[in-house]
Each structure stands twice: as C-alpha cells, then as structure tokens.
Amino acid sequence: MNTQIPFDMNTVEAIIALHKALPGAVLPVLHGTREQVGHIPSHAVPLIYHRLGAS
C-alpha cells in the first residue's frame, strides 16, 4: 500500500528558492522537501540538482 502524500512540484520549487543562496544548499533543500512533502520524490532530485547547479 502506497501511503506517500501526493505533492505539487511548486512546493519543491519554493523550497529551492528559499535555500538557493546558501552554500551547500542541496542538503537544506532535501531536508525541507522531506519535511514538507513527507518524502523526497525520486523525480524531484534531478530538478533540485539542476536548479542548484550541483553535479
């Protein structure tokens, strides 16, 4: 049974915008996403890395 909460990608975008200026923003964004969404959606990870310019 899948109990994950559906989410809006705009939630992830807002979290990225909030933390983007921080050095090492990937972890705060991942933590914020998990806090807001309840999990880190696998299809959100590439977006997070792309928006933050991480490799």
Give the model confidence (pLDDT) of 2-34 as tens digits: 555 567 899 999 999 999 999 999 999 999 999
Q: In the chain, where are the structural domains located?
A: 9-52
d(CA 8, CA 18): 16
pLDDT tier for residue 51 given thresholds of 50, 70 and 90: very high
pLDDT value, residue 1: 47
pLDDT band with cut points at 50, 70 and 90 for residue 54? confident
Amino acid found at 30: L
Residues in the chain: 55
Radius of gyration of the chain (CA): 11
Nearest-angstrom CA–CA distance, 6 and 19: 22
13: Cα separation from own chain's centroid: 7
pLDDT computed for residue 28 by the predictor: 97
